[in-house]
Amino acid sequence: SAVISQKPSRDICQRGTSLTIQCQVDSQVTMMFWYRQQPGQSLTLIATANQGSEATYESGFVIDKFPISRPNLTFSTLTVSNMSPEDSSIYLCSVGQGISYEQYFGPGTRLTVT
């Protein structure tokens, strides 16, 4: 399985600001995903990060709020823009090769918006 790191591990931000979360993988992967997990809840997929093209967003998530970049097969960023307290969550990136649907997750970023 791939080794995945995320930066930052946690942050406290003021409303109205933006935070960029980085996801780095130690090997090339086909698929990269971004999830949000609100306290005590399951994972909600935000988008699939596509290398060299625009991300594919799930219903309820828009590019203006959650811009995503994926410049190569080992790295992606998720920006949470114009934050509000409702954006306080854990943000997780995951990777997969697509064939078996198996995904491996990064350690997550705990975001608190005040």
Partner 1 sequence: AQTVTQSQPEMSVQEAETVTLSCTYDTSESDYYLFWYKQPPSRQMILVIRQEAYKQQNATENRFSVNFQKAAKSFSLKISDSQLGDAAMYFCAYGGQETSGSRLTFGEGTQLTVNP
For binding to partner 1 (CB under 8 A), which residues are involved? 1, 31, 33, 37, 41-43, 45, 48, 56, 90, 92, 94, 96, 98, 100-105, 107-108, 110
Which of 42/114 has CB closer to partner 1? 42
Which of 37/88 has CB closer to partner 1? 37
Phi and psi at residue 50, to the nearest 5° = -105, 130
Q: CB 20 → partner 1: shortest distance, Å?
A: 19
Residues 6+ apart with CB under 8 A from 57: 46, 47, 63, 66
Phi and psi at residue 85, to the nearest 5° = -55, -25
β-strand pairing of 103-105 with 89-96: antiparallel
Q: CB 79 → partner 1: shortest distance, Å?
A: 21
